[in-house]
């Protein structure tokens, strides 16, 4: 059976327009922000800094999937409200994760893009639920999902009625433990060939180490990613989650300059 998300069914690229930002239109878009929304002042300051550097979409988790039940799990609805304030101030769209089908309605009320995290890629109830809304969905690849399983997860959303799905390669679990995950660049490129949906990369979760993030991001851009999602924090050592992989402001600015230079050299595929 031909999948609705497959190139055989539709060979023109799907372009997703989020408040004027086009994802899948050729130019890689940059999504950035902290792993989690940690507080109002911190987030609003960061949002304005990121906007000043040309970031197109803001990220920040309000409902966080954490390995330990004792770890900071996000500010919940308060975090959603801070995201909405950041959108108000900067004019930029915001993306945030939804973990529970019961929260889809409230998250959709505040967010412009709803993220399905790696750990929920095969939560079929959740996939069907976000298939019923009219907002774009950012679908992360599961920790140990094959490309086919990833595409089938997207198919659940599209088949439920929501064609606005963005796939995100964020590294898969392998025997390697120096890096947090193994960034599957080949998998990202294969997905770009197999589906008409936009495919972006998340080098932060893919590497787990800030010193590797920039070069992996550039590799993904060179290979044709429709976008890059990056974790940035003003003081990564104080971050409540994922500080080790978060870029500080200086590092992020340097990377943005490189990405801009890279784009203008038009060596891209
Ligand atoms: C995140 O984006 O902060 C996140 C939890 O990502 P993943 O689901 O890829 O681990
Ligand atoms: Mn994170």
Best of 38, 65, 183 for a ligand 1 pocket test (most atoms within 8 Å of beta carbon)? 65
DSSP string, 56-109: -EEE-BSS---SSTTS----THHHHHHHHHHHHHH---EEEE---GGGHHHHHH
Nearest atom (ligand 1) to Cα of 241 = 3
Kindly give the distance from the C-alpha atom of residue 9 to the centroid of ligand 2, in angstroms, as a whole number: 34
147-159 helix and 185-194 helix, angle to the nearest 10 degrees: 40
Kindly give the distance from the C-alpha atom of residue 193 to the centroid of ligand 1, in angstroms, as a whole number: 24
Name the pTM for this structure: 0.97
Cβ(153)–Cβ(197) below 8 Å: no
Residues around ion ligand 2, judged by CB within 5 A, are 35, 242
Confidence band (pLDDT; 50, 70, 90) for 261?
A: confident
Q: What is the mean pLDDT of residues 95-112?
A: 98
Kindly give the distance from the C-alpha atom of residue 1 to the centroid of ligand 1, in angstroms, as a whole number: 31
The terminus-to-terminus CA distance of the chain in angstroms comes to 30
DSSP assignment, residue 243? G
Kindly give the distance from the C-alpha atom of residue 143 to the centroid of ligand 1, in angstroms, as a whole number: 10
Q: From CA 219, how far away is CA 224, in angstroms rounded?
A: 9
DSSP string, 123-177: -HHHHHHHTTSSS-EEEEPPTT--HHHHHHHHHHHHHTT---EEEEE--B--S--
Overall fold of domain 28-262? TIM Barrel (3.20.20)
Q: What is the pLDDT of residues 163-222, one digit of tens each?
A: 999 999 999 999 999 999 999 999 999 999 999 999 999 999 999 999 999 999 999 999
Nearest CA to ligand 1 atom 1: 35
> Nearest ligand, CA of residue 239?
2
Cβ(230)–Cβ(210) below 8 Å: no
Bridge partners for 228 per DSSP? 30, 201
> Nearest ligand, CA of residue 236?
2
Cβ(253)–Cβ(53) below 8 Å: yes
């Amino acid at each position: 059976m031909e999948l609705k998300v497959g190139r055989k069914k539709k060979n023109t690229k799907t372009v997703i327009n989020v408040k004027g930002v086009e994802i899948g239109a050729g130019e890689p878009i940059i999504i950035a922000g902290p792993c989690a929304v940690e507080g109002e002042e911190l987030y609003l300051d960061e949002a304005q800094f990121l906007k000043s550097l040309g970031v197109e979409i803001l990220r920040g988790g309000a409902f966080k999937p954490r390995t330990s039940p004792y770890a900071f799990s996000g500010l919940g609805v308060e975090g959603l409200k801070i995201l909405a304030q950041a959108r108000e101030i900067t004019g930029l769209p915001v993306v945030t994760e939804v973990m529970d089908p019961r929260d889809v309605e409230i998250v959709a009320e505040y967010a412009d893009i709803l993220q399905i995290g790696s750990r929920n890629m095969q939560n079929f109830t959740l996939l069907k639920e976000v298939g019923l809304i009219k907002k774009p969905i950012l679908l992360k690849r599961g920790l140990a999902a094959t490309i086919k399983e990833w595409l089938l997860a997207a198919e659940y959303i599209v088949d439920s009625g929501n064609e606005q799905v963005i796939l995100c390669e964020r590294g898969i679990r392998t025997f390697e433990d120096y890096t947090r995950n193994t960034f599957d660049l080949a998998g990202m490129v294969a997905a770009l060939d197999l589906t008409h949906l936009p495919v972006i990369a998340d080098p932060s979760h893919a590497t787990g180490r800030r010193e590797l993030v920039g070069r992996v991001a550039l590799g993904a851009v060179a290979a044709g990613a429709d976008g890059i999602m990056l974790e940035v924090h003003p003081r990564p050592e104080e971050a409540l989650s994922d500080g080790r992989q978060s870029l500080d402001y200086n590092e992020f600015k340097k990377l943005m300059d490189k990405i801009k230079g890279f784009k203008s050299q038009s060596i891209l595929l």
